[in-house]
């Protein structure tokens, strides 16, 4: 078993090194893919803790957000858990997320909903570029069912089945996909690895038609282009760097390899006191909009054998503004 553990550790470390050379090498082939996929809302982080740590903690996501990051993590939580999150995103858009995990011995099943919507947007046309008096909203939905199994105290795997829905004007796109991944703890070293593939699915065909005002009159068009999902391959690690008395420091790292952009390396850390008060920071390399680190804080309140968690995450975009996230978690 020891040799098997060493082999897995070396294999995953090799993946990190290989991905790192791709991320920081002189050539970044992913830039040519930027903006080529639809359903971009699926890449918006759903929870405050992850955001505060620079979106780097997939290998340490042990609450309802694990259903978003890596389904294998669901079976590693101590008890059934529910997570609610709200994100005030850019240009008057917002996102809601709910995730619930039901734990049964070494198995876990879960369900999650991610909903993203815009505020009222003006309808502009060729003849009325500042608006024709009409408004519209976009609606984006992802719903998933997850199954996860902890085979040993060190290794777990999981899979999610997902449904995606996108609507703007009178056009609708729908499709399905799967997420799958595994998680591995390197013995008693405090080192943890995770690997996942997200949004692996089918292209979505449009349904509906759009009316536009032109100098020649009203035109009705049926969109023909299909939308692909932004598939992501993620490798992540977490390490308990320091633990003494009531103080603990966890450091995290994560490499994202999306199908529609260049690779990113995210790093983060979390300091906890008494396992009740938490302070977090993180940074995303490879994202030119991220000039400043992300920050976050949280509190965990035990009561009647259960736990209530409250977290806040702050992210700053250089030109677009700031993002605020609030998450609440309940052990059941």
- pLDDT tens column, 114-154: 999 987 766 666 666 666 667 777 899 999 999 999 999 99
Phi, psi (5° rounding) for residue 29?
A: -70, -20
- CB-based contact 12:61 (threshold 8 Å): no
CA 117 – CA 233 distance, rounded (Å): 26
Q: CA of 15: how far to CAs of 19, 23, 42, 73, in Å?
A: 6, 12, 24, 20
Q: Which pLDDT score, from 0 to 100, does residue 24 have?
A: 47
Domain boundaries along the sequence of the chain: 2-331
Tell whether the model's pLDDT for residue 195 goes beyond 60: yes
Write the CB contacts of 189 (distance below 8 Å, at least 6 apart in sequence). Answer: none
Residue 243's pLDDT band, with cuts at 50, 70 and 90, is: very high
Residue 107 main-chain phi, psi, to 5 deg: -110, 155
Higher pLDDT, residue 42 or 286:
42
C-alpha to C-alpha distance for 282 and 294, rounded to whole angstroms: 5
pLDDT of residue 238: 96
Q: What share of the chain in percent tops pLDDT 70?
A: 80
Q: What is the CATH code for 2-331?
A: 2.40.160.60
Using CA atoms, how far apart are residues 60 and 251, in angstroms rounded to an integer? 10
What's residue 164's pLDDT?
97
Per-residue model confidence (pLDDT) at position 211: 64
270-280 average pLDDT score: 97
Specify the pTM: 0.86
pLDDT at 283: 95
What average pLDDT does this structure show over 68-81?
A: 96
Structure tokens at 218: 């009203």
Cβ–Cβ contacts within 10 Å for residue 325, how many? 27
Question: Do 300 and 78 touch, CB atoms closer than 8 A?
Answer: no
Whether 68 and 114 have beta carbons less than 8 Å apart is answered as yes
Q: Could you identify the residue written with the tokens 């996501």?
A: 61
Q: What is the DSSP letter of 236?
A: E
Average pLDDT, rounded, for the chain: 86
Higher-scoring residue by pLDDT: 263, 130 = 263
* Mean pLDDT, residues 97-122 taken together: 92
Opening angle at CA 289, ends 285 and 291, nearest 5: 70
| Tens-place pLDDT, residues 16-53 | 544 444 444 444 445 555 556 889 999 999 999 999 99
Provide, for the chain, the percentages of residues in helix, strand and coil under a 3-state DSSP scheme, each rounded to the nearest 5: 15, 55, 30
């Amino acid at each position: 078993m020891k040799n098997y553990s060493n082999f897995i550790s070396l294999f995953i470390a090799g993946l990190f090194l290989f991905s790192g050379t791709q991320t920081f090498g002189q050539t970044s082939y992913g830039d040519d893919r930027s903006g080529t996929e639809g359903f971009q809302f699926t890449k918006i982080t759903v929870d405050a803790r992850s955001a505060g740590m620079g979106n780097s903690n997939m290998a340490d996501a042990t609450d309802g957000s694990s259903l978003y990051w890596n389904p294998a993590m669901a079976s590693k939580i101590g008890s059934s858990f529910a997570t609610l999150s709200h994100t005030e995103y850019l240009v008057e858009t917002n996102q809601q997320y709910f995730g619930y995990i039901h734990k049964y011995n070494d198995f876990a099943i879960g369900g999650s909903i991610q909903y993203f919507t815009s505020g009222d947007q003006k309808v502009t046309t060729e003849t009325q570029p500042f608006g024709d008096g009409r408004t519209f909203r976009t609606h984006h939905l992802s719903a998933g069912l997850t199954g996860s199994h902890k085979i040993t105290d060190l290794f777990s795997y999981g899979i999610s089945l997902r449904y995606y829905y996108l609507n703007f004007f009178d056009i609708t796109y729908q499709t399905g996909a799967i997420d799958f991944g595994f998680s591995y703890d390197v013995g008693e070293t405090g080192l943890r690895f995770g690997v996942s593939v997200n949004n692996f699915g089918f292209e979505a065909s449009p349904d509906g038609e759009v009316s536009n005002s032109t100098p020649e009159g009203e035109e009705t068009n049926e969109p023909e282009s299909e939308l692909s999902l932004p598939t992501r391959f993620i490798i992540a690690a977490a390490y308990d760097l320091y633990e003494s008395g009531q103080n603990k420091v966890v450091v995290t790292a994560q490499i994202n390899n999306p199908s529609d952009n260049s690779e990113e390396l995210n790093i983060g850390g979390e300091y906890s006191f008494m396992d009740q008060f938490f302070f977090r920071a993180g940074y995303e390399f490879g994202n030119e909009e991220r000039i400043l680190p992300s920050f976050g804080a949280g509190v965990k309140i035990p009561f009647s054998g259960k736990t209530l968690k409250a977290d806040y995450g702050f992210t700053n975009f250089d030109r677009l503004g700031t993002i605020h996230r609030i998450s609440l978690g309940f052990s059941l």
